[in-house]
């Protein structure tokens, strides 16, 4: 049940890191939306391994094939199935993991839950699983373009360990982020960040950091009260990505240090539009977008796979040691940027269709 | 759709802060679980207004009535409906809010979404909405006691603004937390915290802070890969509570400052039980519990309602000013503690039943 | 989980026949829809006991109270909770049923499933459970009136045992149906049907029959392929009503006797509207409405409670006998008419909002 | 949204009759269940075209490929993706259908709903869509075998037009049904049924009929009250199959001709098992199985595609004529038998897991 996501724009992802492939089925997609394999491929290329010198060298072209739901370049309204074959799987690199649990990985918990595990790689816990999400989001993006033209969804690497980029969420552009292999929005920090990552890899070590994201041009009214608050859905979406340890929106944890007088966002009229002077709310109030940029941050832990011997246990219950093998990212953040954008896109697309279901899109504020 | 929660242990909450009342319907609850109004009332009393000198003086006894689903003290397996009447509503205090949007509240966004709003209070955005959750969780707690005896779920106030309690999640007790009106686990900070809150209230101001929570005695195997990772569900649950701005688990945002070598939790055998020396994973790996304590933190912003004049706009689009009225908590944290526990309980109970559905409860690790 | 219904217009019903009451929570309802207790009451009065000489004499006014979600006569978009108290419960009439299973009732199966049962009446298996559905449908009806003005949903008693009414689904009116206590659409059969029912009651016996229903003015395009075909959803909705044994749409079982040449509905242009000369499809093709009247029939078995001694078993596993007590309908059909209409209304309202979510309501055919 | 099915054992089917292929994703499947492509293939072969002289000659081997979720012959607990390529698609046969609506097909309603349609075949409305269901059911069957050994699910052709087979649901065997190409359970009618079908095909005509099904060995307690009554779920499942027009369970429509005294099923003790003398309830009471055989019937209309000229309209709104082309079954029933069994299996498997979630499988009656 856990690989199904969304209420109106629904997806079901599938696939292990080592096996026939990975993919996704999308249901509830509006009809007559332009979709092509090239378009999806563009997004997959942003998350694929081997794309630069600071990511895993696993050699996967990650070519996608649309199997259904698209006809003459347009969505049919029926389920869209997308398949990406695994090509460069090397199960032999994982043989030792058949019996030993990698620290801070999901090997042990999968065994504890299911009593079985595809040990030839990370299985469903591998970041490879996110391919289906990114493919689905490429289509969700087209839906947004059709129904909410002008909405922008951007993510960038905000920190690597303690090295912080200086980026303005209101003005950063996709070009600025994509023009460097770290995918930070601060050109002055690129070189240093690349060095940090290479240094860690050189030491058989790994690094974590934070990704910041912004949604610009989101109209007021998306989201919902109580359990499906927009920030709750975003939090769930982000914390469902591999290696995430935290989520905060607007003022976040730092906001707890302010008093109410300091923290409140005062409204004012900007011509006929309601705006706030500050944006500590992060673009969402009471679970519903208020028209200001939606700004949030996600914490990613350092990659669990490191190239040095670590104490662990075997699946038969004895203490042992294990050294990392296989091909891995010394720092997941550059490749996690498109994942964060993908999950944000999926949440917004789903909420947009929910909003159309309940309230219509010519809601009072849009008239 | 947004007031329905859970897949196997499902709840539907309802009610506005001012109106006939609030409540919840619970479906999918296992049969023959002992449940009583007294039992639910105990939890409601922990979150009700007027319980101490540092919370809102709104005078609500919040008496619950079980309307269905329980027979001779046991659950029937059919839906349990619980009703709590609103008694001390004072809509007159809100008259000005009929036309003016309170800063950092949901007044504007509800109008933007729905084109209508119950201005006689906070409507569904009021913390009063959480009564249904707390009532449902009191029953979920009984289910856990029946199927997972020994599991403990505790939350406490960890910080008020920059004042930090020193609490050990492995050993803190419910008694320590409940014996002070702040609900912190650190007796040495109680007096100072109470002073801080009173001072803020005296200035017509408000404070935020963080709540930390722990689940002890959770067996390995709860949770699921991908979209329903246990930490993702907890994040969503916490971020669905009013006034929350952030969620982190285990090492959280601070974990991004460590390298992989520093961050990894090494496994070892503790007799026949797999354990980890450190717990930076926060008790969850790959979305699934690993048997260590589940530890997480939630950021709450300072209460948006403050007793001083603030700039804002009217619902007809003109700039204006508004001064807070009504009865409000100068700091929501003491009353948010039972809410955090309630949402944790609901997530765990739902995941326990999902686990029973898919894998059975005599899973490999429990045999 | 089984008392939740709908994807976009969601309801959760609750309540046993004997206990605090029955009710419903509705979520996802569009905002600013006019709703009043009087309006809901009108529908409840059509299904309530004691309304005529041929139904159960149980004396329940079934007064509804709207507890939330409506403000100044309009829906808020947040959950609408409706409560109807049980007043005339007489658990003493059921004492014998505490230990004996009534034949063709749910007593045994509830015990087999849950290991517990509210024996003071039919519990959730009582037709009293449908009150929540009828109340919710009264609101769904308002949504349809707002978004699909002109749509008509009518049901009537088509047969009582072997006595068949002669009714034209294209022209029958609500007035014709409601002006007789049987709720058939054929005035010439009313007297005979009433006699049949009274005769059965006089003999301590009971009768079944069929209800036919029509939806007129449904636009083409509602419904969906595969699992949520409109006829599949209607079938599920009808078979979820107490005492139903069969569902057929359009030509139904009789259609199996025709050849393809005889059965096919030929299209023709009626001005600029696509229509069919015949309607063996029953208004639905490929799971999606085609603009013709949607016509279906539902079989209701004879009431299981009869006033004579029957062999049965006890809950401790011994053979015994039991004579029906309590107050019951000798024939459920007159009161089932509003239930069939209610479920039809709920299905259509939900599908209308799903259609708005996926395709918008200005779909190609409506432009 | 409409191609997702099930709550605990969830499936998502995809694929059009002409395109890359068809398939299914299964989530929530219990782990460590033996599954193989051979096993699935066996069921696919029962529904594939070209299997006998009375079905469509479309030449599809329908070879399945398991892409994920199975490791060393056992399910992993993660999503199982299955792909079946389309091989013998002949879109040219459909060129005329690009602009003309086939009578009693879904061409017009798909256009009305989506404003687009894959006219190179039946799209999602093709019976080819059911491949994914049959593949998923082959796995669900393995789950049942593991958790409910001994449960039998059989369907057979009960009538072709007015020719009725004489079959006893309590004793009919799979061997009897599979040994004839009609898949009826009555050997004495096979020849006549085959003749009827061939005759219809010879005339460019088509036939319908009914399929009967039985579940033997289902324990008491499966199903649920209200909206998820077992018969309601079965009705929905059957009416979601292409060409179905009716569903009835137990006494069905004929049951409306009996009085309560005649209709009631009296309980008796058969050693320590509760049974009923008659089975007009069809094995389900109050939505929950009672341990008797579950018996139901499904009406299938005559195939809509016939090889003669019929009046219809074009997609630009003019009257026209159309003659059937392509390769089609003159009577869908022989190939619908495995579809009915598949949907029954999916419903039961899902309800079994739901039952385990809520009540556990060592429920009172099983102890």
Question: Which chains are within 8 Å of A by 3+ CB pairs?
Answer: B, C, D
Distance CA D91, CA D84 (A): 18
**pLDDT value at C365 more than 60:** no
Which pLDDT does position A50 carry in this prediction?
86
Model-level pTM? 0.97
Q: Do B356 and D360 touch (CB under 8 A)?
A: yes
Cβ neighbors of B253 (< 8 A, separation 6 or more) are A210, A245, A246, A248, A253, A299
Strands C209-216, C294-300: pairing is antiparallel
Domains of chain B by start residue, with CATH: 4-366 (3.60.150.10)
Q: Do A358 and C225 touch (CB under 8 A)?
A: no
Q: Do D245 and C7 touch (CB under 8 A)?
A: no
Strands A244-249, A209-216: pairing is unpaired
Nearest CA in chain C to A31: C359
For residues B184-207, average pLDDT? 96
Sign of the alpha-carbon dihedral angle for B176, B180, B185, B186 = negative
Q: Do D356 and B354 touch (CB under 8 A)?
A: no
Nearest CA in chain C to A358: C30
- Residue among B12, B109, B232, B276 with most chain A CBs within 10 A, to mutate: B109
Q: Do A2 and B285 touch (CB under 8 A)?
A: no
Which pLDDT does position D367 carry in this prediction?
36
Contacts of D359 in chain B (CB under 8 A): 30-31, 77
Nearest CA in chain C to D114: C359
For residues A347-365, average pLDDT? 88
Distance CA C168, CA C173 (A): 10
Q: Which H or E element spans position D312?
A: strand D309-313
For residues D349-367, average pLDDT? 82
Tens of pLDDT, residue by residue over C288-339, are 999 999 999 999 999 999 998 999 999 999 999 998 777 788 999 999 999 9
What percent of chain D stands above pLDDT 70? Answer: 98
- Which residue numbers of C have CB closer than 8 Å to B's CBs? 1-4, 7-8, 10, 12-16, 19-23, 25, 27-28, 31-32, 65-69, 71, 74-81, 83, 113-118, 123-124
* Closest-CA residue to B73 (of B139, B141, B148): B139
Cβ neighbors of A249 (< 8 A, separation 6 or more) are A231, A234, A235, A282, A284, A294, A295, A296, A297, B239, B245, B246
What percent of chain D stands above pLDDT 90? Answer: 84
Nearest CA in chain B to C120: B71
**pLDDT value at D85 more than 60:** yes
Q: Which residues sit opposite C155 in a β-bridge?
A: C213
Tens of pLDDT, residue by residue over B139-181, are 999 999 999 999 999 999 999 999 999 999 999 999 999 999 9
**Could you tell me which residue, B291 or C329, shows the higher pLDDT?**
B291
Query: Residue B304: pLDDT band by 50, 70, 90 thresholds?
Result: very high
Q: Do D221 and C282 touch (CB under 8 A)?
A: no
**Could you tell me which residue, B88 or B32, shows the higher pLDDT?**
B32
Contacts of A286 in chain B (CB under 8 A): 105-106, 109-110, 125
Q: Do B239 and A231 touch (CB under 8 A)?
A: yes
Q: Indicate the residue of A7, A29, A357 with minimum beta-carbon distance to C356.
A: A357
Contacts of C223 in chain A (CB under 8 A): none
**Extended strands (E) in chain B:** 4-5, 10-15, 21-27, 64-68, 70-71, 74-75, 80-85, 152-160, 163-164, 209-216, 244-249, 267-270, 273-276, 284-285, 288-289, 294-300, 309-313, 319-323
**pLDDT value at C231 more than 90:** yes
Query: Residue C42: pLDDT band by 50, 70, 90 thresholds?
Result: very high
**ipTM of the predicted structure?**
0.97
Cβ neighbors of B159 (< 8 A, separation 6 or more) are A256, B165, B209, B210
Question: Which chains are within 8 Å of B by 3+ CB pairs?
Answer: A, C, D
Query: Residue D12: pLDDT band by 50, 70, 90 thresholds?
Result: very high
Contacts of C81 in chain B (CB under 8 A): 14-15, 20, 23
**pLDDT value at C56 more than 90:** no
Is A284 within 8 Å of A229 (Cβ atoms)?
yes
Distance CA C15, CA B360 (A): 30
- The average confidence (pLDDT) of chain A is 94
Which pLDDT does position D243 carry in this prediction?
97
Q: Do B8 and C14 touch (CB under 8 A)?
A: no
Two tokens, residue A327:
């091909």
**pLDDT value at B363 more than 70:** no
Contacts of A361 in chain C (CB under 8 A): 360
**Could you tell me which residue, A354 or A59, shows the higher pLDDT?**
A354
Q: How far is CA A17 from the centre of its chain?
A: 17
Distance CA D173, CA D216 (A): 11
Tens of pLDDT, residue by residue over A86-95, are 987 676 777 8
Query: Which stretch of A280-294, B107-121, B337-351 has the lowest confidence by average pLDDT?
Result: B107-121
Tens of pLDDT, residue by residue over D146-196, are 999 999 999 999 999 999 999 999 999 999 999 999 999 999 999 999 999
Q: Do D358 and B225 touch (CB under 8 A)?
A: no
What percent of chain C stands above pLDDT 70? Answer: 98
Tens of pLDDT, residue by residue over A216-226, are 999 999 999 99
Residue B181 distance to chain D (closest CA, Å):
37
- Which residue numbers of B have CB closer than 8 Å to D's CBs? 7-8, 28-31, 77-78, 225, 353-354, 356-361
Which pLDDT does position B269 carry in this prediction?
98
Contacts of B71 in chain C (CB under 8 A): 16, 19, 116-118
The DSSP 8-state label assigned to residue C173 in this structure reads: -
CA atoms within 13 A on the CB side of A178: 11
Nearest CA in chain B to C353: B1
**pLDDT value at A59 more than 90:** no
**DSSP assignment string, B286-301:** TTEE-SSPEEEEEEEP
Query: Residue D1: pLDDT band by 50, 70, 90 thresholds?
Result: low
* Closest-CA residue to A238 (of B249, C106, B166): B249
Query: Residue C3: pLDDT band by 50, 70, 90 thresholds?
Result: very high
Which pLDDT does position C328 carry in this prediction?
83
Contacts of D77 in chain B (CB under 8 A): 358-359
Query: Which stretch of A92-101, C224-233, D22-31, D335-344 has the lowest confidence by average pLDDT?
Result: A92-101
The DSSP 8-state label assigned to residue B128 in this structure reads: G
Q: Do A8 and C359 touch (CB under 8 A)?
A: no
Q: Do D269 and C311 touch (CB under 8 A)?
A: no
Q: Indicate the residue of B225, B260, B300 with minimum beta-carbon distance to A125.
A: B225
Contacts of A208 in chain B (CB under 8 A): 255-258, 263
Is C151 within 8 Å of C222 (Cβ atoms)?
no
Residue B32 distance to chain D (closest CA, Å):
9
Query: Residue B360: pLDDT band by 50, 70, 90 thresholds?
Result: very high
Q: Do D31 and B78 touch (CB under 8 A)?
A: no
Question: Which chains are within 8 Å of D by 3+ CB pairs?
Answer: A, B, C
Tens of pLDDT, residue by residue over A64-112, are 999 999 999 999 999 999 999 998 767 677 788 899 999 999 999 999 9
Nearest CA in chain A to C356: A357
**C189, burial (CB in 10 Å: exposed 0-12, middle 13-18, buried 19+):** buried
């Amino acid at each position: 049940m856990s690989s199904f996501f969304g209420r109106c724009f629904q997806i079901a992802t599938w696939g292990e890191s080592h096996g026939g492939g990975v993919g996704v089925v999308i249901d509830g997609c509006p009809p007559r939306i332009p979709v092509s394999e090239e378009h999806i491929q563009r997004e997959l290329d942003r998350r694929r391994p081997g794309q630069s010198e600071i990511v895993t060298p696993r050699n996967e072209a990650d070519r996608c094939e649309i199997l259904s739901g698209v006809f003459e370049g347009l969505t049919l309204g029926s389920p869209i199935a997308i398949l990406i074959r695994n090509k460069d799987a090397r199960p032999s690199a994982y043989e030792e993991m058949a019996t030993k649990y990698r620290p801070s990985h999901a090997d042990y918990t999968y065994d504890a839950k299911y009593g079985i595990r595809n040990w030839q790689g990370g299985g469903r816990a591998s970041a490879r699983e996110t391919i289906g999400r990114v493919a689905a989001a490429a289509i969700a993006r087209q839906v947004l373009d059709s129904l909410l033209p002008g909405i922008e969804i951007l993510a960038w690497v905000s920190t690597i360990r303690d090295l912080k980029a200086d980026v303005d969420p209101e003005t950063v552009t996709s070009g600025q982020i994509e023009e460097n292999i770290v995918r930070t929005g601060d050109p002055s920090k690129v070189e240093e960040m690349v060095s940090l990552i290479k240094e860690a890899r050189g030491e058989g070590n790994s690094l974590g950091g934070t990704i910041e994201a912004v949604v610009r041009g989101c109209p007021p009214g998306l989201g919902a009260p109580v359990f499906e608050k927009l920030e709750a859905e975003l939090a769930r979406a982000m914390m469902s990505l591999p290696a995430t340890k935290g989520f905060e929106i607007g003022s976040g944890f730092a906001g707890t240090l302010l008093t109410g007088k300091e923290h409140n966002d005062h409204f004012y009229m900007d011509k006929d539009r309601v705006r706030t002077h500050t944006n500590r709310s992060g673009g969402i109030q009471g679970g519903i977008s208020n028209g200001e940029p939606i700004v949030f941050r996600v914490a990613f832990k350092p990659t669990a796979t490191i190239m040095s011997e670590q104490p662990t246990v075997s699946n038969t219950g004895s203490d042992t040691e294990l050294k990392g093998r296989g091909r891995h990212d010394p720092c997941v953040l550059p490749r996690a940027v498109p994942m964060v954008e993908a999950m944000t896109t999926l949440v917004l697309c789903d909420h947009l269709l929910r909003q159309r279901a309940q309230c219509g899109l010519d809601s009072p504020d849009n008239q």
